[in-house]
Structure 1
Amino acid sequence: MTDITIKITDRKGVEHQILAPTDMNMNVMELIRSYELAEEGTIGICGGMAMCASCQCYALNNVLKSKRNDDEEAMLSDAYHVKENSRLGCQIHITEELDGLALEIAPEQ
């Protein structure tokens, strides 16, 4: 089992340095929910299907190399608070390559 470190700034501006398992096929949205970094019922409303943008977050460094997929692009085109570095947490799968990733949870939709 390999855990990586991810820094996530919650919606109140508090930074959390958390350990994320790479062997559980988790995504960032699930990680945020498991650490209770967002109020219950405000993140992952669609269950991680890229259909609600409630898990939108901002990539704060260059660790995340993957680009938005088509579903992510479509959902973010209709979402609020979108920035150039916006991503859907449900579309970012936890892998060893993400060690050191820094994210900020976007405001509620």
Structure 2
Amino acid sequence: MIYKVNIISTNNKRIEIPFKRFEYPNLMELIVDTYFEDIGECLGRGLCGTCHVKLQSGSINDRIEPVEKETLTNLYNSETNSRLACQIMLDEKINNMTFKIITENKINT
């Protein structure tokens, strides 16, 4: 089955990306492979915050792991709808959801 996810780029362009369940390890890999190259400095370990996205439509009820929670807490622009794309699995739960890529991800010191 083919699903889709909508990505709002850094220049506010909306892109619909089709995907198959578990086609990539996570949403970050899908975004990097199909559109945006400069995210994921920690290679998907949830440590750097460069794959910060904000959920614009829908809701993810999956538990946020402690590493992701700590990284998001340290981002100055993190909100309740913030997630790390490297921690979002590609499955039917994110079908038709919209995520906005956030590039100004300064860590609070």
- Measured in 2, the distance between the counterparts of 1:92 and 1:7 equals 14
| TM-score w.r.t. length of structure 1 | 0.87
Q: Detail structure 1 runs of 4+ shifted over 3 Å in the superposition.
A: none
Q: CA RMSD in A?
A: 1.4
Query: Per-residue deviation at 1:83?
Result: 1.3
1:57-76 residue pairs with structure 2 within 5 A? 57-76=53-72
Counterpart contact for 1:81–1:107, Cα < 8 Å:
no
- Measured in 2, the distance between the counterparts of 1:102 and 1:23 equals 18
| TM-score w.r.t. length of structure 2 | 0.87
Query: Per-residue deviation at 1:25?
Result: 4.5
- The residue aligned with 2:91 is 95
Unaligned runs of 5+ in 1: none
- The residue aligned with 2:6 is 7
- Work out the percentage of aligned pairs sharing the same amino acid: 26
Q: 1:81 pairs with 69, 77, 82, which one?
A: 77
Number of aligned residue pairs: give it.
105
- The residue aligned with 2:26 is 27
